[in-house]
């Protein structure tokens, strides 16, 4: 069996990898390391979860250290460009320990946070910069960083940078790096202009492809589950989210991601959200809560479909099916990573059957659609062990009835989400709730919708007379459930 030492990785880094439990290289690493460590420009193609980050992190660190040059303030010697803040942070988490072993320093540069810390690191002289294109160009325009000394440049998830419209900025940045520097480009596909970058900036690159960009992962099991209506879908989503393992739920819009995370938390399933409306601090806290296991459910938009690596995600749920097959494959790639297994579920409403059929065909997925209702054996198997404190979601079993007037005496409302017009029990239970914007625990009682706002935080029930003065519904009265349908 080939080892990292066999591929030319220095002993100090081999020990560091071993300490992290990494003892055998993945195929993309075995294929690219001999060339990249030798200074050759490399084009690496591999599907998500194939180990590309370590494939470029090792030569990045090794070759920067081997140059034995002194890094001047504001003039880094190595650069990694990444499309998103989350990916930049995760790359740094891989690179920084390796860099430290060889006496090098790293920093991240991206928007959404104050630039003062980033500028301070640059002023102190940092060897390796891991950056998103937009903020890096802003700092260059302010003359706070120069790329004149960069001798090795990495473009990670180049196809995603193209999807996000970053290629013009990437070209301007690469134009500012020395033409004789080494360049490594890693991407799942070469469309949308990535081929232009390769032809213009890589010199006689050696191409290594370990998987077809569109091929599904063999350890991933796909399920297409059809539901009859939005209310059934809501109950199925709650059941699928109720397991004890990590799971990622994908939504099309930021609003629906935030809304579903709140609904799940209110139903005793602590969940955090991840989408573009969150500030960087909230993003990092929510990701940390999910990656640490403090929260087992992440509800996200496609911002989490690329470059987010969390170990042991056992289930990915396309609550809202994506618009095209590449997004399906990238979303699904949050599970079954690094050789592990995982399940992927796509929920389908009647009007979505045609689109999902075309989507799975393009993604080369052959899962046979099956109709499900809450409690089915298929769902029970996918959920596995159910987490404690989960309240079962009511299911609409009769045709929708017109809403009846609210009763001023109890503040309850008949209709959708209440299941045969019966209000939920108001008996509190002890649990730990998590804010969907901070991921921080708030220990207390977790009542049903009586005495509980949609954020999942407990509210006082208040004085009944005061509720009557407000027109029959106090703050703690039962609220109608919302559909998660996009």
> What's the confidence (pLDDT) of residue 262?
95
Average pLDDT over residues 132-154: 97
| Confidence (pLDDT) at 222 | 92
Fold classified for 11-209: Rossmann fold (3.40.50)
- pLDDT tens for residues 297-342? 999 998 877 767 777 888 999 999 998 888 898 888 888 665 567 8
- Would you say residue 397 has pLDDT above 90? no
Domains 11-209 and 220-400+427-446 share a fold: yes
pLDDT in tens, 353-386: 999 999 999 888 888 999 999 999 999 999 987 8
pLDDT classification of 5: cutoffs 50, 70, 90: very high
- Please, are residues 300 and 273 in contact by the beta-carbon 8 Å criterion? yes
> 279 falls in which pLDDT band (50, 70, 90)?
confident
| pLDDT exceeds cutoff 80 at 283 | yes
pLDDT tens for 74-127 read 999 999 999 988 889 989 999 999 999 999 999 999 998 899 999 999 999 999
pLDDT tens per residue, range 9-60: 999 999 999 998 899 999 999 999 999 999 999 999 876 667 889 999 999 9
Q: Residue 430 above 90 pLDDT?
A: no
pLDDT beyond 70 at 475: no
Q: How confident is the model at residue 432 (pLDDT cuts 50, 70, 90)?
A: very low
pLDDT at 333: 81
Does position 428 have pLDDT exceeding 50, yes or no? Answer: no
Give the pLDDT band (50/70/90) at residue 211.
low
Express each pLDDT in 260-270 by its tens digit.
999 999 999 99
Q: What share of the chain has pLDDT > 70, as a percent? A: 75
470, 93, 13, 431: which is closest to 287 by C-alpha?
Answer: 93
Please report the pLDDT score of residue 91 as a whole number: 94
pLDDT of residue 413: 39
The structural domains of the chain, with segments of one domain joined by +, span: 11-209, 220-400+427-446
Residue 304 confidence (pLDDT): 77
pLDDT in tens, 149-198: 999 999 998 888 888 889 999 999 999 999 999 999 998 777 768 888 99
- Summarize pLDDT for 168-177 with one digit per residue, the tens: 999 999 999 9
Q: What is the reported pLDDT for 144? A: 97
User: Average pLDDT over the chain, rounded to whole?
Assistant: 80
Residues 449-465, mean pLDDT to the nearest whole number: 40
The confidence score (pLDDT) of residue 339 equals 54
Domain covering 220-400+427-446 assigned CATH 3.40.50.300 in the classification: yes
Residue 412 has pLDDT above 50, yes or no: no
pLDDT higher than 80, residue 422: no
């Amino acid at each position: 069996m080939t080892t990292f030492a066999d591929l030319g990785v220095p002993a100090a880094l081999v020990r560091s990898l071993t300490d992290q439990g990494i003892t055998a290289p993945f195929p993309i690493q075995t294929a690219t390391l001999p060339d990249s460590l030798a200074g050759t420009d490399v084009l690496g193609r591999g599907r998500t979860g194939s180990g590309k980050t370590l494939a470029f992190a090792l030569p990045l660190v090794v070759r920067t250290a081997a140059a034995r040059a002194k890094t001047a303030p504001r003039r880094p010697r190595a650069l990694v460009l990444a499309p998103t803040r989350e990916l930049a942070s995760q790359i740094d988490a891989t690179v920084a320990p390796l860099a430290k072993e060889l006496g090098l320093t790293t920093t991240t540069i991206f928007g959404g946070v104050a630039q003062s810390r980033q500028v301070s690191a640059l002023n102190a002289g940092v060897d390796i910069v891991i950056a998103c294109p937009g903020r890096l160009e802003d700092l260059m325009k302010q003359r706070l960083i120069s790329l004149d000394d960069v001798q090795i440049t990495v473009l990670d998830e180049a196809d995603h940078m193209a999807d996000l419209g970053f290629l013009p900025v990437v070209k301007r940045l690469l134009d500012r790096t020395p033409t004789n520097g080494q360049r490594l480009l890693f991407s799942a596909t070469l469309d949308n202009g990535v081929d232009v970058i390769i032809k213009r900036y890589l010199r006689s690159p050696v191409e290594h492809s370990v998987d077809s960009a569109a091929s599904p992962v063999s350890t991933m099991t796909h399920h297409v589950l059809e539901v009859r209506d939005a209310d059934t879908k809501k109950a199925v989503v709650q059941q699928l989210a109720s397991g004890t393992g990590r799971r990622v739920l994908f939504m099309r819009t930021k609003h629906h991601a935030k809304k579903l995370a709140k609904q799940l938390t209110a139903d005793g399933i602590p969940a955090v959200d991840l989408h573009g409306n969150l500030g960087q601090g909230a993003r990092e806290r929510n990701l940390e809560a999910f990656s640490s296991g403090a929260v087992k459910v992440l509800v996200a938009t496609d911002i989490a479909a690329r470059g987010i690596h969390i170990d042991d995600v056992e289930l990915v749920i396309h609550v809202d099916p994506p618009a095209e097959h590449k997004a399906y494959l990238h979303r699904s790639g949050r599970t079954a990573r690094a050789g592990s297994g995982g399940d992927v579920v796509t929920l389908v409403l009647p009007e979505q059957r045609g689109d999902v059929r075309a989507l799975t065909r393009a993604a080369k997925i052959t899962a046979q659609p099956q109709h499900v209702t809450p409690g089915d054996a298929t769902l029970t198997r996918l959920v596995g062990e159910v987490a404690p404190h989960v309240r079962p979601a009511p299911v609409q079993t009769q045709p929708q009835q017109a809403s009846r007037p609210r009763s001023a005496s109890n503040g309850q409302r008949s209709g959708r989400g209440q299941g045969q017009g019966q209000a939920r029990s108001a008996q509190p239970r002890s649990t730990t709730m998590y804010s969907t914007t901070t991921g921080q625990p708030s220990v207390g009682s977790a009542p049903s919708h009586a005495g509980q706002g949609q954020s999942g935080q407990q509210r006082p029930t208040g004085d009944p007379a005061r509720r009557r003065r407000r027109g029959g519904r106090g703050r703690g009265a039962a609220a109608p459930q919302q559909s998660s349908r996009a």
